[in-house]
Amino acid sequence: MSNADRRREREELCELLAARGVSDRRVLAAIRSVPRERFLPPELQPAAYDNNALAIGEDQTISQPLMVALMTQQLKLTGAETVLEVGTGSGYQAAILAELAAQVVTIERLPGLAERAEKTLRELGYKNIEFRIGDGTLGCAEAAPFDGIIVTAGAPDVPAPLYRQLREGGRLVIPVGDQGLQILKTVTREPQGPVIEEAGGCRFVPLIGDAGWTRPE
């Protein structure tokens, strides 16, 4: 596929995202500048700019571009923030965050995926991403507090450690529900306690860990 074709496909994807509620121009610009094909195995690269989740190995997926954009938009990033991502996966969402925030910490429980994502993101030149391997439901206490936390796997409930690691006014975006279907929740840490906003239904792979699911169903 030629570069011109890729550019046109990326442009069409951004038009679709804008039509489906992505209005933050910085988020659209980030989607336009990150080469999603680089986060995919070769045989799936032709499908990089379809609005679909795709398999990345180890039973995991790179999220659908619309979900990446809507979840990122919920964080209301201006460029100064420190953000935690739980579920590095392919590394694509981490790249989008790195375009929009000052510092990104990303945690993945599967070392194979974490290593591949780190390699891709280093090759693309990102210098503001820190990589961790472990149970992200516990957050990352030594890098806390965070202005934003994004969980890219479906949780049975909002993990308490993640809420505790938010700065006051910070936002946590997380799919919450059963393993088949979740609702996207945005939890803002206010002085009086959590304020929760709910958006539409979504379907993510399970968040597995201490404050998540014990195993896939």
Chain contacts with ligand SAH (rule: CB under 6 A): 60-63, 86-87, 89-90, 92-93, 107-110, 113, 135-137, 152-153, 205, 207-209, 212
**CA-CA distance, 200 to 70, in Å (whole number)?**
10
Chain centroid to Cα 16, Å, comes to: 19
Q: Which residues are catalytic?
A: 63
Question: Which of 60/82 has CB closer to ligand SAH?
Answer: 60
Minimum distance of ligand SAH from residue 115's CB (angstroms): 12
Query: Pairing relation of β-strands 54-57 and 60-62?
Result: antiparallel
Q: 129 vs 207, which CB is nearer to ligand SAH? A: 207
3-state helix, strand, coil in the chain (%, to 5): 35, 30, 35
CB of 199 to ligand SAH, least distance (A): 18
Task: Quote the least distance from Cβ 213 to ligand SAH, whole Å.
Answer: 8
Asked if 53 contacts 64 with a C-beta cutoff of 8 angstroms, the reply is yes
Burial of 92 (0-12, 13-18, 19+ CB in 10 A): buried
Instruction: State the residue number with the nearest CB to ligand SAH.
Output: 89
